[in-house]
Amino acid sequence: MSRDKQHVLNGLSTEESWRMFKIMAEIVEGFDTLNEFNKCVSIFGSARSKPSDPIYQETEKLAHLLTEAGYGIITGGGPGLMEAANKGAQKAGGNSIGLHIELPEEQKPNEFLTTRLNFQYFFVRKLMFVKYAMAYVVMPGGMGTIDELSEAFVLAQTNRIKPFPIVLYGSEFWGGLLDWIKDKMFSYNFLNDNELDLVSVMDKPEDVVSFIKRHVII
């Protein structure tokens, strides 16, 4: 092996080693910060929703009601429906937690956080969402929202975590996806009814809160 090639490999090895320590540091900081918050609901949704949107207002109301019921709120800490959830939690005087991800195109954290953590690695951030949530509420959103939904669903489906309530908010928004799953995944035997029972669909903040209170006792 040439000296130049060996030099490049050594440089890559050092870089990967330091990356490992950065990952460990994020995990440790997350555990240390969030360990006191053991009664939380993670709320996901689009970063592009505006305060004038009805779904923004419903998200804020939902978070407010959950906070009044004794739950802390965890979001991605960004704008849109994440902001709405944090706003509702903060206004209700509860724990409003934001797990902010550092992106090339900076997505600023919202102003309604009582606790904020910054992450460089998506998979570490996902770990925190799952580990410290007693339930998931998935509001309408894009691919990032679907990614979070899929992560929790698969972990529960494969018994890697104890199943917890996963609520899809908005039957009009999620109905098409569920119809496709039933039409395609069921017909190919890739999924069955019992597995799809891991998720519930609701349309009112009050119904979500009642459902979570029945299934998650604090």
Distance CA 122, CA 127 (A): 9
Identify the pLDDT of residue 12. 54
Question: Which residues, other chains included, contact 175 with Cβ-Cβ below 8 Å and sequence gap of 6+?
Answer: 201
Q: According to the model, what pLDDT value does residue 143 have?
A: 95
pLDDT at 10: 57
- pLDDT tens, 14-35? 788 888 899 999 999 999 999 9
Q: Give the ranges where the chain is alpha helix by DSSP (H).
A: 3-34, 54-68, 81-91, 122-131, 143-157, 171-180, 193-196, 205-215
- Does residue 77 come out as left (phi exceeding 0), alpha (psi in the -120 to 50 range) or beta? left
For residue 199, count other CB atoms closer than 10 A to its CB.
19
Coil vs helix vs strand at 202: strand
| pLDDT tens sequence across 67-94 | 999 999 999 999 999 999 999 999 999 9
pLDDT exceeds 50 at position 8: no
Whole-prediction pTM: 0.90
